[in-house]
Amino acid sequence: QAVTVEVLDHLERLALVDFRDSEGVERLQKAIQFADQLHEVNTDGVEPMDSVLEDRCLYLRGDDVTEGNCTKELMKNAREKVEEYFVAPPGNIPLPKLEE
C-alpha cells in the first residue's frame, strides 16, 4: 500500500518525524504492512476490552519518597533550561512540504 505525500506530511506534523528520505518512507511502509496483519484475525463476536487486566484490579503502590534533593544532578541532563525547568521544543513545528 503506497503512502501518499499528504499522509507523510500529516504524520510528520503529528509526530515531528522526518520521512524525507526513501529509508524513512520504506520503514513506515513496513510498519503499515506489519499492522495490516491484524485485519486477518477474525474478531467476530469478540467484545472490546477496556483494560488488559480484565477483571483484576490495578493496585497502586504508595507514593513514598525514597530519594530526593537531586535537582542539580537532574538538571545536568537538560539540553536547555530556564531556572529549574526543562525547556521542551515547541509543538507542531512546521516542516517543509515534501516534493512529489
Instruction: Give the Cα separation of 20 and 5 in Å (integer).
Output: 10
Q: Which three cell numbers stand for residue 29?
A: 511502509
- Of 92, 100, 99, whose CA–CA distance to 12 is shortest? 92
The pLDDT tens digits for 11-25 are 877 876 777 777 777
Q: Which residue has the higher pLDDT, 92 or 67?
A: 67
What pTM does this model have?
0.40
